[in-house]
Structure 1
């Protein structure tokens, strides 16, 4: 038991080192997301019409740029407690954001974010 706890602790401490500022300082820089990515022209979001778990994006259309008042969106569809597919892109309006629709057979969940490249 003691050896398992020690191994678990060492694994956890190694994981913490991977995300430390000393290991990858650019991630913790205030300039990591430069203004060029989300400047005056809007945010840049990933545009994928079909993403399947363990396979990634199958219908990749690159990126889209939001207009004023729009967000990046990720829509996720679950059936039987398993994620079937997701769709990513730019919202047309805020009505689609942060919705959860639960039916007897399916769960639809949409969440939005307002940072450059936040739905990748």
Structure 2
């Protein structure tokens, strides 16, 4: 974990949050600036800047994060109507916090396409 990273601080309980889900590897919580009625962040507790930092050994963790997104989507009632899972990588990719995280977004019609 990084000393200055906000998501690492949240994982260490230095910054309070209300977890949607938590285990040894992952933490999920509602985004503080939601763009839709359902906007949950899924964060690996291990610090990685983005997908470029993930290696072969991280593949199970990445898969676990995506399965968790589907589980939370079901729990939040958007699995059937539709939702989006997004990973922003780097400044031009829209990444604001330099810690790998997945956005689960749903609960309203989302625009088609990516650009």
TM-score by length of 2: 0.20
Greater RCO (CA < 8 Å, at least 6 residues apart): 2
Counting strand residues as a fraction of each chain, which structure ranks higher? 1
Counting helix residues as a fraction of each chain, which structure ranks higher? 2
